[in-house]
Structures are given as structure tokens and as C-alpha cells.
Structure 1
Amino acid sequence: MFLTADEIVELTGKVKPSAQARMLGRLGVAFKLRPGRVLVLKSEVERALSSGQEQKSGIRWDKVL
């Protein structure tokens, strides 16, 4: 249901939750902040990555990931 902490690090390239939150915002992925942790639904990542979000936002995925 939720990404693991390791999956969030892999997706964002960031270890600190505050940095992860900034990167997720840039990627157009919805998330919730909890004390010391970021929560991300797996379905939200699939939606953001498959909806052409990178084209709408101008994100260059090859530069981010």
C-alpha cells in the first residue's frame, strides 16, 4: 500500500524526509508528512509516473532519477 523507506530514498535520491518531500513535490507525487517520515501511496507513484506528469511539469526524468 505505501512505499517503504528504502523505496522513497530510491525514488527521490534523498535520505532526509524534508528533502524527500521537496523532491516528491517536484515530481508531482502526493505525500503525507509524519514525524520523521514521509508516506507515499504506491498507487500515487504509479499515477504520477504513468500520467505524463513529467511532460506537464517539464521534469526531465533522465536528470532526476
Structure 2
Amino acid sequence: MVFKKITLIGQSDEGFEAAVDDAVDRAEETLENVYWVEVDELMVELGEDGRTYQAEATVAFKLE
């Protein structure tokens, strides 16, 4: 079995959990055989309109 890992950054105005969900949802929409996700870093972007929560995640999926 061989896996490939990529890095995604999810975003949300609601919080870190929603930012992680954003990254995972996108991975599952576009990749097949997603096996695990590692949350690497959490960040908050401060702007005039409020906070944007970000989660940098490594996604691993099985190569066929």
C-alpha cells in the first residue's frame, strides 16, 4: 500500500473545528481513498470584518 500526502488550509468564520471540517470536506470531494488527516497548525487571520479561523491540515490518501 502506498499513500500520498498533501497540505490543505481550511477556513471558517465560525472557529477552528469548522476550519478543519472545511479542509476535510474539500479533500473528500476531490480525492478518493482519503485515509487520515493530521492537523498541523491553527491560525487566526484578523481583519476589519472580524476573525477568519484557519487550519492547516495534511491529508493522506491511498494511491491505486
Between Structure 1 and Structure 2, the one with more strand by share is 2
Higher relative CO (CA 8 A, sep ≥ 6), structure 1 or 2? 2
Q: Which has the larger radius of gyration?
A: 2
Q: Same fold (TM over 0.5)?
A: no
TM-score, normalised by the number of residues in structure 2? 0.34
